[in-house]
Amino acid sequence: MTQNVAVFGLGSMGFGSAMSLVRAGHQTYGFDVNADAVSRFTDAGGKAASVGDIAADLDAAVVVVLNAAQTEEVLFGANGVVDGLKAGAVVMACATVPPDFARDMEARCAERGVHYLDAPISGGSVKAGQGQLSVMASGTPQAFAAAKQVLDATSETVFELGDTAGAGSAMKAVNQLLAGVHIATMAEALTFGMTQGVSPDKFVEVISKCAGTSWMLENRAPHIVAGDYTPHSSVDIWPKDLGIVLDIAKSARFSAPITAAALQQFLAASGSGLGREDDAAVAKVYARNAGLTLPRED
């Protein structure tokens, strides 16, 4: 059985998820503020329409935008989709947002008879394109049931973390703490190695097989070796995501000094004009400060 699905946000993760839905046979509509992204999607087999024309026929709205403000705009803004959805439709919200925000969105959707699944995603653009994301999800049993076909098409692993929104976003914050710290630490270790005569390619060859490795190291360090900073996930993602982590930590009166240090490196990278480059470009901050030349940066 196929469904009518709209994907809001056709960036690296949203585009991959939307294409996974297309391949699964679902009638999939794509929306993005970037017209080129929509054209790319329709050229690849997706559909475009106005929200008002299709909202009433949708079974699911998948929101893969940048942050809480964009999520709220998609759902309840001037052209928000929720007011047009039929009772029993589901919103699957995938952005990294504070848990309290997710709970608020769930309550506002419920007032309109719409299910809300707090469903942050992880896995990067490659996994998104393969329909193999990990989803950290929480919501009512009815929300999980309504989102099942979308989850089946877009994800490899679905962690069911609770029967109300908020738990999924809390787990995503934990993941983003680690992911952001790991990228910054990878950049620090790689450039530290360069001061000791360890080339970036040798760093990847050796450390990826040793206890100091991480998924982020193995995924991002090759970008530095290649000198290719085409964004799969940009530097500017991290001031937002690590900022959310620190806001949550502050409200919990929890000290997170390592997160704060990593955030400063991403802020320095963004302030240096690197915000739209791949997040591995945080290594350029370390290289600049140490007088080092990264591959292909001559």
Residue 148 falls in the annotated catalytic set: no
Contact yes or no for 266/180 (Cβ under 8 A): yes
Catalytic residue among 47, 86, 148, 172: 172
Q: What is the dotted CATH code of the domain comprising 170-290?
A: 1.10.1040.10
What are the start and end residues of each CATH 3.40.50.720 domain in the chain? 4-165
Given strand 155-160, what is the order of strands in its sheet? Answer: 121-122, 133-137, 155-160
Tell me the C-alpha distance between 244 and 46, whole Å.
33
Region 4-165: CATH code: 3.40.50.720
Q: Return residue ranges of the chain for CATH 1.10.1040.10.
A: 170-290
Each residue's pLDDT expressed in tens, for the chain with a length of 298 residues: 899 999 999 998 999 999 999 999 999 999 999 999 999 999 999 999 999 999 999 999 999 999 999 999 999 999 999 999 999 999 999 999 999 999 999 999 999 999 999 999 999 888 999 999 999 999 999 999 999 999 999 999 999 999 999 999 999 999 999 999 999 999 999 999 999 999 999 999 999 999 999 999 999 999 999 999 999 899 999 999 999 999 999 999 999 999 999 999 999 999 999 999 999 999 999 999 999 999 998 7
Cβ 138 vs Cβ 115: under 8 Å:
no
The answer to whether residues 188 and 152 touch, using CB atoms and an 8 Å cutoff, is no
**CB-count exposure of residue 192 (10 Å: 0-12, 13-18, 19+):** middle
